[in-house]
Structure 1
Amino acid sequence: MQAAQDAFIQHRVLTPTSPETQTPGTGEKPLILVGNGEGSYIFPDFHPGFDGMMAVARILQFLSVDSTSLSDVAINIPTAHLGRQTVPCPWDATGRVMRMMHEQASRFGDSGAASEGVRFDFGAEWVLVLPDADLPLFHVHAEGQSPEAAQALVAKHAEMIRRIVT
């Protein structure tokens, strides 16, 4: 599997979450694969849109480089413990929340850098706070080392937003 990774995974580019910004073609390096973290994939050399059937075909192609089975790969995928919550926030408080969350995140060193929200990195755990583009609310996403840890991170950061708003 390592040969397949070396052959196909050259670099990673972080983009905003909207599908329009994930469409390839604007970067300085050609992309082989674009994935959005929700199971949608684009293969730019085929066409610039999400395509499930092409994703299956290309994954099988990647696996065939090392004669690796999909079950072998699946066994080695670590379990992700994710949590998420939405937090209402009036439109006029969104900027204040973003500024204060960014200030809070900057206390953790390299945290805070996100393409459209604020990211908190805690080693193996992280939190991403995203303002909704269409509704007066924030989305809080977290990954923890256990389901309870992920929910605790979400609850803590959701409460931070509530305190800023009130």
Structure 2
Amino acid sequence: MGLSPEKASLTLSSIETLPNPNESQQPDHTYVQSKQGGRQLVARRTILPALTNPMGHIDDLAGWLLRHLILKLDGSSRVTLVNQQAAGDLQKSAVESLGVSFRNKQKREEVRRIIYEASASYFVIDPIQLGMLRIRLSPRPPADEMEELNIHPAGIPFIRKRPQ
């Protein structure tokens, strides 16, 4: 059983991205991008039927979509999720896990709660090395988003007080 046409469109939109300046957009095609699957130009007429009728389009589903929608969590993949990561373009959709967390307060707070329950330290994102995002643990949560996510001189002391 596949997704409804509305749910299929919503699922596709979650991995769609705009063409880069050097890329052309073809009619009835879209770019999909994710950390797991990289970036591809795909035909909508192929992807949407694979989501609504997966058994009839198993090759398309496996080859074009599942790599963008499934996260492989083996040992090295789990470690990679917490490594320093490129911040990326803040005007585009985030691809890296820390970039997604940096842009989404609700997700950051949920990770912070889970880490605190497990370790009595607070998960915070360190944006001080321009262009890169790092995870730090803090003895206290940030006072607000401005303290945690900014590179303003007022936020730097909070970053420096965190254990490395």
**For the superposition of Structure 1 and Structure 2, which TM-score range results when normalised by the shorter chain?**
under 0.3
| TM-score (norm: length of structure 1) | 0.27
| TM-score (norm: length of structure 2) | 0.27
**Higher relative strand content:** 1
